Amino acid sequence: MHVFQKLARGRVRQGMALGVSFGLAVALAGCSTADSPASTEGEASADLGTCGQIPDLGFDDQSGVLAELGDLADYYNGFPVPVLESAWADWVPDHDGPFTAGVITNPLSNPFQTNLHDGLIEGLESAGIEVIADLAAPDQVDVGAQSQQFQQVLSQSPDIIFFGPLAAEPAIELVNQAGEAGIPVVSLHQSTNSPYAVSVVFNNVLEAMTAGAGVATSMGGEGTVLRVHGVQGIAQDNEAGVGYSAVLDNCPGIEQVSEVNGMYQTAPTQQAVVQFLSTNPAGVDGVLSSGAMGLGIIQGFEQGGHTLSAMADPGSSVGSLTFAKENPDLAFFGTAQPGFAMGETMADVGERILAGEGPKINQFAITLPSINQDTIDSFYVDGSEVTDPSGVEGDPNAYFPDEHLDQLFNNPGGE
């Protein structure tokens, strides 16, 4: 056993501040029946049967740990990959520091990705961890280029790697290579199916089921929807699709009439929606988005001269939130996505691993605070503009409070 000096925490976190609990029910407090995984029964959906309720897809816990986590296990409903025992559960570094890190992220093409990156870098710097490589994929689809970036970082032998994979399957081999070389990998907001990764994620499947159930209920279980993809084929978009499909499977009266690609960016989303509406003059009754494209959807409907009636908008922007606030008849179901705080959390997880705290499992999952017309005032900031593409931050302490993270490590705080 190596003597290891505990690093100072690189982030000040208030844990239970502002009344935010790490239990799922409280994390989504104030949400309506269709908007909360903790409450799927109620008068609003009673006449619709299972349509508008959040499906229970279960999870594959091969670690046996989730059974010990109580309410925290609720965050894993529909989780897309097995939960495994972490390869780093009993690991300590072979030296006392200082430590180095390599970073490979998604392209910094929208405010969320930029904020997450900046929070990660600041968190690492505050912890005294030197970032020796800081790379971003050139676009959302160039998996080959990102693989080359990973190999470049791996050749520098950092003590830890922070990796935002574009595609799930290619990431496994890369992470396994690092793990076999004794280098832990923190997977950024994307679940990687390897015991050598510690994925710090929000559950995309559950997020989509929650928002999609809200849209289905608002439509009364009848009508048509448009599916707006980010980039078809990448992991996040696939997982959102699993969630939406699970909801629609319970709603035979709702038809998905088309699907478009928005590239997780406002302008391409607006253009795709306008093109769809130009060939579908009847419009649709609802929109299901993979995330971070609500503003482009709104602008597309406005340009196309159509009324937007219901929208699932995970990763809401300030602009889409403001539009919903100004248009209370819009059935709006979004999430706050505190990108900077998420980056800080990922740095904190890496710091804990280097401190020998021992992650119990390879998948750290949570859901983000939900936003609908009943809770919108808790997130709206006076003076916000409908053109603002930046993400809704909400309470930064809602994303993996320390009390939550402590339950996911064998030796929290080095005790």
76: left (phi over 0), alpha (psi -120 to 50) or beta: alpha
Convert the pLDDT of each residue in 37-92 to its tens digit.
Answer: 433 333 344 589 999 999 999 999 999 999 999 999 999 999 999 999 999 999 99
Q: What is the pLDDT of residue 45?
A: 46
Q: What is the pLDDT of residue 161?
A: 98
Looking at the fold, whether 152 and 230 belong to one and the same domain comes out as no
Q: What is the pLDDT of residue 46?
A: 57
**For the residues 135-149, what does the mean pLDDT come to?**
95
Looking at the fold, whether 343 and 358 belong to one and the same domain comes out as yes
**For the residues 319-334, what does the mean pLDDT come to?**
98
- Asked if pLDDT for residue 360 goes beyond 90, the answer is yes
Looking at the fold, whether 273 and 296 belong to one and the same domain comes out as yes
Contact predicate 224/285, CB 8 Å: yes
Looking at the fold, whether 308 and 402 belong to one and the same domain comes out as no
Q: Using 50, 70 and 90 to split pLDDT, how confident is the model at 25?
A: very low
Looking at the fold, whether 330 and 342 belong to one and the same domain comes out as no
Flag whether 198 is in a domain.
yes
The full length of the chain comes to 415
Looking at the fold, whether 163 and 77 belong to one and the same domain comes out as yes
List the CATH number of the domain containing 220: 3.40.50.2300
* The last residue of a domain, from among 335, 350, 378: 335
Token couple for 283: 């419009």
Looking at the fold, whether 319 and 355 belong to one and the same domain comes out as no
Looking at the fold, whether 82 and 170 belong to one and the same domain comes out as yes
**For the residues 234-239, what does the mean pLDDT come to?**
92
Flag whether 299 is in a domain.
yes
Q: What is the pLDDT of residue 415?
A: 59
Q: What is the pLDDT of residue 54?
A: 97
- Asked if pLDDT for residue 344 goes beyond 50, the answer is yes
Q: Using 50, 70 and 90 to split pLDDT, how confident is the model at 270?
A: very high
Q: Residue 336 in 3-state DSSP?
A: coil
The percent of residues above 70 in pLDDT, for the chain, comes to 89
Flag whether 48 is in a domain.
yes
Average pLDDT of the chain is 89
- Does pTM top 0.95 for this prediction? no
Q: What is the pLDDT of residue 3?
A: 28
Convert the pLDDT of each residue in 166-197 to its tens digit.
Answer: 988 999 999 999 999 999 999 998 999 999 99
The domain total for the chain is 2
| Helix or strand (DSSP H, E) at 236 | helix 235-248
Q: What is the pLDDT of residue 234?
A: 87
Q: What is the pLDDT of residue 157?
A: 98
Q: Cβ-count burial of 257 within 10 angstroms (0-12 exposed, 13-18 middle, 19+ buried)?
A: middle
Identify the domain containing residue 292 by its residue range. Answer: 43-56+205-335
Looking at the fold, whether 173 and 262 belong to one and the same domain comes out as no
Contact predicate 348/126, CB 8 Å: no
Tell me, rounded to whole angstroms, the distance of Cα 333 from its chain centroid: 15
- Asked if pLDDT for residue 146 goes beyond 70, the answer is yes
Looking at the fold, whether 84 and 172 belong to one and the same domain comes out as yes
- Asked if pLDDT for residue 13 goes beyond 90, the answer is no
Flag whether 140 is in a domain.
yes
**For the residues 31-40, what does the mean pLDDT come to?**
36
Looking at the fold, whether 229 and 183 belong to one and the same domain comes out as no
Convert the pLDDT of each residue in 273-320 to its tens digit.
Answer: 999 999 999 999 999 999 999 999 999 999 999 999 999 999 999 999
Q: What is 56-111 written as a DSSP string? A: -----BSSS-GGGSGGGGGGGTT-SS-B-B-TTTT---SS----EEEEEES---SH
Looking at the fold, whether 235 and 146 belong to one and the same domain comes out as no
The letter for the amino acid at 393 is E
